[in-house]
Amino acid sequence: MAALVAIPMLYMRYYPVASACMTLHEVNECKDGVIVDVRDYNMAYKEQFDNKKNIPLPYLHRFYGEIEAKKVIVLSSDIVSRNLSIRFLRKKGFIVIGYSIIDPKNIGSSEHVVNKKRRHCHEI
């Protein structure tokens, strides 16, 4: 019985979401949608974008109505928050253009790498 409860939770958190991975430069140049930053407030204030809306993942269920556009780009700090936020936003009718995972230890780096084993990209 416990396995039946655990399977959907594991799928929602760890099964990769199909979406385009973007560099911070591509995110900043994209004018099609709103940038939704699901990182904590103390991490998100370091990057300044023109059309960024900071809604941390725990608050996304309450405040997703504040997102004006239907097309969004997700900024997250790890794979789990990326998967959960993209799945939630798609369920609510948003079109996710892409995402970027920002590692707080490597902010300001310029090279963008796709890790094929973990199926995500990050800047190094």
* Predicted local distance difference test score (pLDDT) of residue 11: 73
Per-residue pLDDT of the chain (124 residues; tens, 9 = 90+): 667 777 777 777 777 788 888 888 888 888 888 999 999 998 888 888 888 999 999 999 999 999 998 999 999 999 999 999 999 999 999 999 999 998 766 655 433 444 544 555 654 4
Architecture of domain 2-123: 3-Layer(aba) Sandwich (3.40)
Structure tokens at 20: 């385009």
List the chain domain ranges: 2-123
Give dist(CA 42, CA 60) in Å, integer.
16
* Predicted local distance difference test score (pLDDT) of residue 49: 83
Task: Mention every residue, 6+ apart, whose C-beta is less than 8 A from residue 59.
Answer: none
CA angle (42, 57, 45) in 5-degree steps: 25
